[in-house]
């Protein structure tokens, strides 16, 4: 049985790096000369919700399963990995280069609280699927109103 590393975190320390990456990606789209940091990419992801669970699907073809890192907090899921660049060979010339390589990190905020004891992740044919069990909604309770 293959295992994907899943770590649980109280909270993710610094999300301000997302702003830095956005600025870098914006300038990189204008010209590769403006690349301010290590090359990165942003894989496509889907998140859907059923009454019982939240399902995240990430398209990460070319990433080795051992290089995938999944961190779960009560509010978000962080997925990180590295897709190594493929060398086209010393006597070859690129005529088209659309496939993105390098590191990626995505933080997806969850639409509902989850049970951290019931989490699974599977990697098949370049697709990472993470299943998170939702916590049941608490029953309504009355709150007495008192004088201040």
Distance between CA atoms of 75 and 10, rounded to whole angstroms?
9
User: What confidence score (pLDDT) does residue 40 get?
Assistant: 75
User: What confidence score (pLDDT) does residue 35 get?
Assistant: 45
Q: Model confidence over 51-63: pLDDT tens digits?
A: 999 999 999 999 9
Closest CA to 51 of 147, 135, 145, 126: 135
First and final C-alpha spacing in the chain: 60
Domain ranges of the chain: 6-85+101-134
Average pLDDT, stretch 32-38?
46
Which structure tokens are listed for 111? Answer: 């639409």
Closest CA to 137 of 121, 119, 114, 120: 114
Q: Report the mean per-residue pLDDT for the chain.
A: 81
The residues, ordered by sequence, that sit 6+ positions from 146 with a Cβ below 8 Å of its Cβ are none
Q: Judge whether 134 and 53 are in contact, CB under 8 Å.
A: yes
Mean pLDDT is lowest, of 3-17, 117-131, 133-147, for 3-17
Q: Which CATH number fits domain 6-85+101-134: 3.60.130.10, 3.40.50.1370, 2.60.40.790, 2.40.50.140?
A: 2.60.40.790
């Amino acid at each position: 049985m293959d295992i994907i590393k899943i770590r649980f975190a109280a909270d993710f320390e610094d999300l301000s790096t997302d702003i830095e990456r956005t600025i870098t990606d914006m300038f990189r789209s204008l010209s590769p000369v403006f690349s301010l940091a290590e090359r990165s990419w942003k894989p496509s992801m889907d998140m859907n919700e059923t009454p019982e669970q939240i399902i995240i699907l990430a398209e990460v073809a070319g990433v080795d399963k051992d290089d995938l890192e999944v961190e779960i907090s009560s509010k978000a899921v962080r997925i990180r990995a590295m897709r190594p660049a493929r060398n086209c060979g010393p006597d070859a010339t690129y005529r088209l280069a659309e496939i993105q390589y390098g590191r990626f990190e995505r933080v997806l905020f969850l639409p509902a609280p989850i049970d951290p004891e019931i989490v699974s992740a599977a990697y098949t044919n370049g697709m990472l699927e993470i299943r998170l069990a939702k916590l049941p909604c608490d029953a309504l309770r009355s709150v007495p109103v008192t004088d201040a």
